[in-house]
Structure 1
Amino acid sequence: MTTFALLYTDEDMSALVATLLRSRGLDVTTVPEQATIGKTDIEQLEFATSVGRCILTHNRVDFERLHLQYITEDKQHSGIIIVPQKNAYEVAQRIGILVNALNVEEIRNQLLYA
């Protein structure tokens, strides 16, 4: 049995993406739902990690840097999935494919591209 990763969309991700992912049966929460609007990228990643959620973002440059920082500092995170800015349906499809292919343990501490 596959255990799907819990997901957390950052501020730049469309709310429609979360809705579409939920319609696929995935557990998703968003920055507005968690009242974390305006937090820095590091704060967003720390929050996602603290609640055991993989963060979904379009922000490749900053989250690649944060992932490398975590590796250097031997810190753990629950996964980072970077998705190009496309329409919400394509973004949700890409994420859905990736999350369905990998379980929680395979996503943990990984920087993935959908």
Structure 2
Amino acid sequence: MEKAKLYLDEDITDLLARVLRTMGYDAVSAHEIKMEGRSDEDQLYYAIKNQRALLTCNVSHFTNLARMCYEKNITHYGIVVTPQLDFKEILRRVTVFLDNIPATDLKDRYIWL
């Protein structure tokens, strides 16, 4: 099973990306690539361009962007949203998610962790 590659927007700590990489996952943070302060659309387009699922806590904005992608027939590689949780719980949810859902199943999907 091919695991999803993740792009963590600036609402998610870059520590999560670093820890995920030490565990063998492919994850990059907006903080690491200097995307802080960019619009949510820019965050999503970066993820699309790099064929990464986007992980965010910004539920309302990315719900609207997922709808926009659907209406404009824009392909994305998954929008994954999570509530603001403590680090260990987000890490747990993300690793369970990555271990159980193949990257191919994420295309054009909006998923709540």
Q: TM-score range by the shorter chain?
A: over 0.9
Q: Which residue identity does 1:53 align to in structure 2?
A: R
Report if the CA contact (8 A) 2:14-2:30 is conserved. no
Cα distance between partner residues in 1 of 2:16 and 2:90: 7
Who is 1:60 aligned against?
59
Worse-superposed segment, 12-21 or 40-49: 12-21
Distance 1:96 1:66 in 2: 24
The range that moved more, 75-84 or 16-25, is 16-25
- Using the TM superposition, give the Cα deviation of residue 23 of structure 1 relative to its aligned residue in structure 2, in angstroms: 3.0
- Report the Cα distance in structure 2 between the residues aligned to 1:79 and 1:62, rounded to whole angstroms: 15
Alignment deviations for residues 80-110 of structure 1 (CA, whole Å, 9 cap, x no partner):
1101111111101101111111111101111
> Which residue of structure 2 aligns with residue 91 of structure 1?
90
Q: Distance in 2 between matches of 1:107 and 1:96?
A: 15
How many pairs align? 113
Q: Secondary structure at the match of 2:31?
A: helix
Q: What is the one-letter code of the residue matched to 2:2?
A: T
When normalised by structure 1's length, the TM-score is 0.94
Distance 1:24 1:84 in 2: 23
Q: What are the residue-to-residue correspondences of 1:19-38 with 2, within 5 Å?
A: 19-38=18-37
Superposition CA RMSD, Å: 1.0
> Could you tell me how far apart the structure 2 residues matched to 1:111 and 1:8 are?
14
Query: What is the match of residue 80 of structure 1?
Result: 79
Residue of structure 2 in register with 1:41 after alignment: 40
| Contact preservation (8 Å) 1:82, 1:113 | yes
TM-score normalised over the length of structure 2? 0.95
8 Å CA contact 1:79, 1:110 repeated in 2: yes
**1:68 maps to amino acid:** R
Tell me if structure 2 keeps the 8 A contact 1:24–1:96.
Answer: no
